[in-house]
Amino acid sequence: MSIFRRGQRGPGRVTVQEAAARTGHGDIADSAGDAVLLDVREPYEWQAGHAPRAVHLSLSALAAGAGLPSEAQARPLIVICRSGNRSRQAAELLVARGAQAVDVIGGMHDWTGAGLPVVDARGGNGTIA
């Protein structure tokens, strides 16, 4: 069953394990790993630490009408922030605009808690700001 259910009211929510599998970050990557991990935190948070291969677009830019980065266009989106609050808002905006989007419960806090990788802006070991 797809985490991107058609016809649902608003975005779904996924665990970090589901997000990692769908975006190719987990031990057992989903064979349909076509989803993009979209990080909607502010630039200073992104620079301190984010998931490898994630795409960045802050919630403030998205809310101001910014379009998706090219890597995220026309692809299923798994939206993440620090704790899950901003990603929920961003996923709602994206679904309202016609995108397939779900948000990650617990955000980057749960991501790191699950032992998933985090890199900084230079590719070194990152931290969650």
Q: How would you list the strands of the sheet with 55-56, edge to edge?
A: 12-14, 101-104, 77-80, 36-39, 55-56
Nearest to 88 by CA among 59, 108, 67: 59
**Is 54 marked active-site?**
no
Query: Which neighbouring-strand residues pair with 78?
Result: 37, 102
Please pick, among 79, 80, 81, 118, the residue that the annotation labels catalytic: 81
- Calculate the CA 102 to chain-centre distance: 8
Residue with tokens 């016609």: 98
Catalytic machinery residues:
81
